[in-house]
Chains A and B, each alone.
With several copies, the nearest count.
Chain A
Amino acid sequence: MPDISVRIADIKFQNPFLLASGILDENGYTIRRILNEGAGGAVTKSIGAEERTGYIPPVVVPLDDGLLNAVGLPNPGIDGFANEMKISLEAGKPVIGSVFASNADEFIKLCRKMENYGAHAVELNLSCPHVKGFGSEVGSDPDLVEEIVNSLKSEIKIPVFAKLSPNVTDIIRIAEAAGKCDAFVLINTVRGMAIDIAARKPVLSNRVGGLSGHAVKPVGIRAVWDVFENFDKPIFGVGGIENVQDAVEYIMAGAGALQIGTAVYSHGRGIFSKISTELASYMEKEGFNSIEEMRGLAHR
């Protein structure tokens, strides 16, 4: 059987499919279950310094070809998340702590705590498109990104992953600024909005949200492709992965591992074990022995 495990920044994942940040990863019991049911690893909900309740529902709008969301980064604050990390880690698989903050100092504090909680790595949310003062507002300022990543790399021992936004003029410029990170995570959601014409109102209570799911796959593929062309660094591909073909497309574009978010809604939690089996059969049929062999193949 081909080997579908991957090693990114010295963390070994039994399969390349991680649960993406913000999807069923706020409650430790849920993370533990998803890992036990077959995810190769999990990224937690993005956690900040202070407790936030997030936006009033509607926080999601299911669309034909994707999902629009503006959950508003609800989270119990880093201290309140200690127990959830503990429960999550009981699965014995890698758990990556996602964090958001507006400056380097705050990021350091959060990441130190994640490190103490036993997170295998931290993922910096430099990309959430719908919360003022955080996410892509931070992640679109190259100087700030550089300061954050560089100071984290000198303060934190566990690997640092930078999750970038596609909602920027030049993603390469931002990736350069985050150049010291241990891996890139591409992409977060694409800014979007939906109006209900009968109610004559935006559906999301926050009005603007982020588009995810199948509709944004081409956007993610292009981001992974461009970053792979320009940097020699691991990439987590995320955005619209629903089946083995999507996964292989990301790998051939340059991703060394993958994250799945919206498809957990459209295909259920079972997607992790299903897609892992499918990937192994695909590799067997095509004669690939490892994911590394497939990685970036479309660039040749």
Chain B
Amino acid sequence: MKHSEVAEVVQASRSAVTIFFIDDTEILPGQFLMVWAPGVGEIPISLSHLGKMKGITVKPYGKTSSSLCGLEEGDLLYYRGPYGRPFTLDSGRRLIIGGGTGLASLYSVINGESTVISSARSSDELLFRGKFKCRNNIEVTDDGSAGIRGFPVDALKTIDPDLYSVAYVCGPEMMMYSVYNYLRNFNLNLQFSMERMMKCGIGICDSCSMGGYQLCRDGPTFFKDEIPELVEFGKSRTTESGRRYSMK
């Protein structure tokens, strides 16, 4: 396991924090780490901040993520990786669509000409508010406490996707599925960062697979023409035990 000292912890929304640490390894946008809270658990976390000072942005869900959110400056952060296929950085205008902590993995691909659609349950859950490099930020909340009430697809209807050369998308699977079904009809390129339970991170345990592809290794980034091959996408998934259930 690698470890680095936590350099700084910054609030990224009401509950999520960004944990900064120094690691010289080259990590590319869209890649993730398997982050270990000793004695608690290990979970996949995307890099929100690249460069010499790296950052991960974590929201407390369960035990492991909550334990990580409790880290303070000077504590050690344990992890292995980076793993996974990164985004490719297409030229042209970028449409960034992030739901919940999904925005964390997209944060490093935002540039000045990007439009960011950021969504969350409510306004205080929106990540990185006011911290985007671009001016165009459309906020979407389930409860309408900020921006458009609804889902990212509702925000998409307010813009013309074909003004963009590529959309980078990450968030809960059903959100991504609806975004995919909407955007596939336009001309822009698509790069989806898929999310499923990941136990090993190295393509051996099958917990993250979709249509025979391992998200941890073949993905998490998938391109427009590949998504139809992920036959389980938006349809069914398996639990920690491998039990399959329908998402519809």
Interfacial chain A residues near B214, Cβ < 8 Å: 24, 30
Interface residues of B (CB under 8 A from A): 1, 3, 34, 36, 38-39, 41-43, 76, 78, 80, 199-207, 209-214, 217, 231-232, 238-244
How distant is B21 from chain A, measured CB to nearest CB, in Å? 14
A74 pairs with B240, CB closer than 8 A:
yes
B204 pairs with A23, CB closer than 8 A:
yes
How distant is A161 from chain B, measured CB to nearest CB, in Å? 21
How distant is B136 from chain A, measured CB to nearest CB, in Å? 38
0/1 string, A247-266, CB within 8 A of B gives 1: 00000000000000110110
Report if A265-B202 is in contact (Cβ < 8 Å); known contacts: A51-B243, A198-B3.
yes
**Interface residues of chain A: helix, strand, loop or mixed (majority):** loop
B42 pairs with A58, CB closer than 8 A:
yes
| Nearest CB in chain B to that of A196: its residue | B1
Q: Which of B34, B217, B241 has the most CB of A within 10 A?
A: B241
Interface segment, A76-84, A178-186, A276-284?
A: A76-84
A62 pairs with B80, CB closer than 8 A:
yes
Task: Report the bound CA distance from A269 to B202 in whole Å.
Answer: 12
Contacts A/B (CB < 8 Å), 11 sampled: A24-B205, A26-B205, A27-B209, A45-B206, A53-B239, A58-B42, A60-B199, A60-B202, A69-B200, A71-B205, A196-B78
Interface segment, A112-120, A199-207, A230-238?
A: A199-207
Task: Report the bound CA distance from A33 to B201 in whole Å.
Answer: 19
Interface residues on A, range: 35 or more
Contact of A74 among B3, B213, B232, B242 (CB under 8 A): B242
A57 pairs with B199, CB closer than 8 A:
yes
Task: Report the bound CA distance from A58 to B1 in whole Å.
Answer: 11
| Nearest CB in chain A to that of B204: its residue | A265
B38 pairs with A201, CB closer than 8 A:
yes
Task: Report the bound CA distance from A243 to B112 in whole Å.
Answer: 48
Task: Report the bound CA distance from A33 to B206 in whole Å.
Answer: 12
How distant is B171 from chain A, measured CB to nearest CB, in Å? 22
| Nearest CB in chain B to that of A201: its residue | B38
B244 pairs with A76, CB closer than 8 A:
yes
Is A25 interfacial (CB 8 A cutoff)? yes
Is A217 interfacial (CB 8 A cutoff)? no
Is A29 interfacial (CB 8 A cutoff)? yes
A33 pairs with B213, CB closer than 8 A:
yes
B43 pairs with A45, CB closer than 8 A:
no
A30 pairs with B212, CB closer than 8 A:
yes
Task: Report the bound CA distance from A60 to B206 in whole Å.
Answer: 13
Report if A75-B231 is in contact (Cβ < 8 Å); known contacts: A60-B204, A199-B38, A264-B204.
no
Is A92 interfacial (CB 8 A cutoff)? no
Report if A60-B212 is in contact (Cβ < 8 Å); known contacts: A71-B205, A76-B241.
no
Please provide the 3 A-B residue pairs with the shortest distance between their CB atoms, ordered closest to farther: A33-B212, A76-B243, A199-B38
Task: Report the bound CA distance from A24 to B34 in whole Å.
Answer: 19
Contact of B241 among A54, A261, A262 (CB under 8 A): A54
